[in-house]
């Protein structure tokens, strides 16, 4: 069973992500977090196999949280899931050690991203219309 942690400050988004990901019987949501600090704490408590992490959150943003998660739980892949996806943000995500980035509005790409990261592949969504 693959254990996934969801970190997003929006309850409706967390519910949407949970519903989307729990459609896969071998994926289990092991916890949720509402800010970057809580994401780090839940990572330590639940030991997930993968983290779906929002960019804009209170306490610390997704990039900051991902850097700390990489320090305290090395090897746990992180998929940045944001409404503010841009080429610049994807570059910053890579620098922060994040393995993938997708738009919250593209549920199919979230699933593709999770699958890719579980295969230890990178997944950065790059549509032609994506801004800088």
Separation between Cα atoms, residue 26 and residue 114, nearest integer Å: 12
Fold observed for domain 2-122: Rossmann fold (3.40.50)
pLDDT at 130: 54
Q: What is the pLDDT of residues 56-108, one digit of tens each?
A: 999 999 999 999 999 999 999 999 999 988 889 999 999 999 999 999 988 88
Q: What is the pLDDT of residues 13-23, one digit of tens each?
A: 999 999 999 99
List the chain domain ranges.
2-122
pLDDT at 125 over 90: no
For the entire predicted model, the pTM comes to: 0.94
């Amino acid at each position: 069973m693959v254990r996934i942690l969801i970190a997003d400050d929006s309850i409706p988004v967390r519910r949407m992500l949970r519903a989307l990901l729990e459609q896969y019987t071998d994926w289990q949501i092991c916890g949720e977090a509402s800010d970057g600090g809580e994401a780090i704490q839940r990572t330590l408590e639940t030991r997930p196999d993968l983290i779906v992490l929002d960019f804009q959150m209170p306490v610390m943003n997704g990039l900051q949280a991902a850097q700390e998660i990489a320090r305290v739980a090395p090897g746990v892949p992180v998929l940045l899931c944001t409404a503010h996806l841009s080429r610049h943000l994807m570059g910053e995500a890579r620098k922060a050690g994040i393995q993938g980035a997708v738009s919250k509005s593209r549920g199919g790409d979230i699933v593709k991203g999770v699958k890719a990261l579980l295969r230890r592949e990178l997944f950065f969504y790059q549509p032609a219309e994506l801004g800088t």
